[in-house]
């Protein structure tokens, strides 16, 4: 297993990060089986584990906590805050009120006294970023977290956060966790260059493009849109939709390339993300032991310029062939009132 320094933190982490979104009710509900996956990953040299409070409503954190008993000092542990964790107001977001409550809940579920990397899962335009950074800075000073970062932030939000941190003498985001794959290269345009400029570590999620680069979905083969990942977003996998033609065509070209390289398509996909100079770790999120073994079989794979040039020909740099799940959309796009002037008042008679 290869290791890299996580941005400017001085913390060394494995190039493969074990993602645990599939631990719990959403994926693998067998806690003992999930623990075996964690232990196998550690045995193979992975020392970086990523989870979030909202994964299976906290169940993932509980599984990870149990799996790491007696191994906590050997692991760089990351989790996240932002998404609602219950009914009613003030049970989510990036406010100080919620962050100081949520971190205690995560510490309890994880069974630990500290979190190595605490990440803000998405932007929150109802909260000043200064308030968020101040709360996180206080958690570092209190010893509850070692460093903090952001996840799926657009480049302009990252820049603003660093500007505020400098102006107010606050701690700054040390990492970013964006979606990145051969089929979703949009972050290459600005997010990854900004992260390099600020010496931020980058751990990328969905390197298999939400399963599209697993090798299971191929051109000319029937797809069961009622099972597995296609059941969640059938429009993304339906080969009858013209918008998916480019993805299926790209997969065929990538399968051919993987065969020439001597690896599987998933191994090629993960190695591609790890080749970018801004990327520290690629998150792999296995649901089963077989999936973990298949991905780690290619842990030492590195791609030379000739292979990367071929990938650029298949999917050009900066191009998204699909919109990754869960990508944050700014209110300027989601709220019509941000794009429409109010009607003028009726003139007085």
The dihedral formed by the CA atoms of 155, 160, 166 and 171, expressed in degrees to the nearest 10: -70
Q: What is the mean pLDDT of residues 270-297?
A: 96
The verdict on pTM exceeding 0.85 is yes
Do 16 and 284 form a contact (C-beta atoms < 8 A)? yes
Task: Identify the H or E element spanning 13.
Answer: strand 12-14
pLDDT digits (tens, 9 = 90+) for 63-91: 999 999 999 999 999 999 999 998 888 99
Region of poorest pLDDT, from 18-27, 230-239, 247-256, 302-311: 230-239
Residue 348, pLDDT above cutoff 70: no
* H or E element at residue 266: helix 265-275
| pLDDT score at 346 | 62
Percentage of the chain beyond pLDDT 70 is 98
Nearest Cα neighbor of 328 from 87, 186, 121 is: 121
Query: How high does pLDDT run on average in the chain?
Result: 94
pLDDT tens per residue, range 94-122: 999 999 999 999 999 999 999 999 999 99
Of residues 254, 277, 253, the one with CA closest to residue 204: 277
Q: Which pair of structure tokens corresponds to residue 218?
A: 């191929």
Of the candidate ranges 213-227, 277-291, 300-314, the one whose mean pLDDT is the lowest = 213-227
| 137-184 pLDDT per residue, tens | 999 999 999 999 999 999 999 999 999 999 999 999 999 999 999 999
Ranges of each domain in the chain: 12-333
Q: Is 43 helix (H, G, I), strand (E, B) or coil?
A: helix
**How confident is the model over 323-345, as a mean pLDDT?**
81
Tokens of residue 8, six digits: 């400017």
55 part of the active site: yes
pLDDT above 90 for 57: yes
Counting Cα atoms < 13 Å in the Cβ hemisphere of 217 gives: 26
Q: Stretch 213-225: mean pLDDT, rounded?
A: 87
Helix, coil or strand: residue 318: coil
CATH class of 12-333: alpha beta
pLDDT of residue 131: 98
User: Which member of 3, 55, 217, 322 is catalytic?
Assistant: 55
Least confident segment among 27-31, 84-88, 220-224, 257-261: 220-224
Please tell me the distance from the alpha carbon of residue 301 to that of residue 310, in angstroms, as a whole number. Answer: 16
At residue 204, the 3 state secondary structure works out as strand
Top-ranked range on mean pLDDT: pick from 130-139, 242-251, 294-303, 339-348:
130-139
Between residues 192 and 346, which one has the greater pLDDT? Answer: 192
């Amino acid at each position: 297993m290869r290791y890299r320094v996580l941005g400017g933190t001085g913390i060394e982490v494995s190039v493969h990060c074990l993602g645990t979104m599939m631990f719990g009710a959403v994926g693998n509900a067998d806690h003992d089986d999930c623990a075996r996956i964690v232990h196998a990953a550690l045995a193979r040299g992975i020392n970086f584990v990523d989870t979030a409070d909202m994964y299976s409503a906290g169940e993932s954190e509980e599984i990870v906590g149990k799996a790491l008993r007696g191994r906590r000092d050997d692991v760089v542990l990351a989790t996240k805050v932002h998404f609602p964790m219950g009914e009613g107001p003030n049970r989510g977001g990036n406010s100080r009120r919620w962050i100081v409550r949520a971190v205690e809940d995560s510490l309890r579920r994880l069974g630990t006294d500290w979190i190595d990397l605490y990440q803000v899962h998405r932007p929150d335009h109802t909260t000043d970023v200064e308030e968020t950074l101040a709360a996180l800075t206080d958690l570092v000073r209190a010893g509850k977290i070692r460093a903090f970062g952001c996840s799926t932030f657009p480049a302009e939000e990252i820049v603003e956060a660093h500007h505020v941190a400098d102006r107010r003498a606050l701690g700054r985001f040390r990492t970013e966790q964006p979606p990145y794959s051969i089929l979703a290269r949009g972050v290459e345009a600005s997010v990854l260059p900004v992260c390099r400029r600020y010496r931020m570590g980058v751990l990328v999620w969905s390197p298999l493009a939400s399963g599209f680069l697993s090798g299971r979905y191929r051109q000319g083969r029937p797809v069961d849109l009622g099972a597995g990942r296609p059941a969640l977003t059938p429009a993304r996998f339906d080969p009858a939709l013209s918008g998916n033609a480019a993805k299926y065509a790209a997969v065929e070209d990538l399968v051919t390339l993987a065969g020439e390289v001597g690896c599987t398509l998933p191994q090629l996909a993960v190695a591609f993300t790890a080749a970018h100079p801004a990327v520290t770790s690629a998150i792999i999120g296995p649901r089963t032991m077989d999936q973990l073994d298949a991905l780690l079989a290619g842990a030492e794979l590195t791609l030379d310029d000739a292979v990367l040039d071929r990938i650029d020909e298949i999917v050009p740099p900066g191009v998204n062939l699909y919109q990754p799940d869960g990508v944050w959309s700014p209110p300027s796009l989601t709220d019509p009132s941000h794009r429409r002037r109010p009607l003028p008042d009726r003139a007085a008679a």
